[in-house]
Amino acid sequence: MHIANDRFLQQLTKMEKSHLATCESCRDEHQKILLLCESAQYVELILPPNDLWQTIQPKLEKEERNVGPWKKLMFSAAATILFASIGWMMWSQFTLKQQLEHVLISNMLLEEKIQLQQQVTYRRASLIGTLQALDIKLMNAENTEDKLKILTERKQVIQQHIVSGNKEEGNEISI
């Protein structure tokens, strides 16, 4: 590993000095930088003429006019659209997550209602089979929207079971 060039202008550590003694490439680079610094002390500073700025300034203004207000407007519009898109995506993700949590809570409450009835019947056993199939679909779902659809379907199955169970309460045979 070689010594960085900016380190040659500072006080070298013992490790860096021992590296200079063994590395010809770093030693040559160190000598060049020291000679450059020494020769820079003898260079006379030449000041530009006073009227030089008057010739440079119109050229800069001309280049600035070439950029034009339309390019600035386009860049600002693109940035605005980008930030609005990011904000919309974050908001939709947030609302989708809230909907998913709401459906999960509803399903849990509906399952609790079913579990309160201790007696296992054919209808309840078939409901459990249907719910297990939906749970497998839920675990294999790729994205949040699919999961939300499956959970909504699950909720509807449970609600149908509860509604039809209230109508046929005394007509079932327990297993």
Q: What pLDDT band is residue 175 in, cutting at 50, 70 and 90?
A: very low
Q: What is the pLDDT of residues 45-66, one digit of tens each?
A: 777 777 877 787 777 766 665 6
Residues near 107 by Cβ (< 8 Å), separated by ≥ 6? 151, 154, 155, 158
Q: What pLDDT band is residue 116 in, cutting at 50, 70 and 90?
A: low
Of 79-93, 99-113, 139-153, 159-173, highest mean pLDDT: 79-93
Q: Based on the number of CB atoms within 10 Å of its own CB, is 100 exposed (0-12), middle (13-18) or buried (19 or more)?
A: middle
What mean pLDDT comes out for the span 4-11?
68
What mean pLDDT comes out for the span 13-41?
83
Residue 159: the pLDDT is 87
| Alpha carbon distances (Å) from 173 to 117, 145, 158, 159 | 14, 39, 19, 21
Query: Alpha-carbon distance 135 to 108, whole Å?
Result: 13
Q: What pLDDT band is residue 70 in, cutting at 50, 70 and 90?
A: confident
Residues near 127 by Cβ (< 8 Å), separated by ≥ 6? 114, 157, 158, 161
- Whether residue 154 has pLDDT greater than 50: yes
Q: What pLDDT band is residue 174 in, cutting at 50, 70 and 90?
A: very low
pTM of the model: 0.36
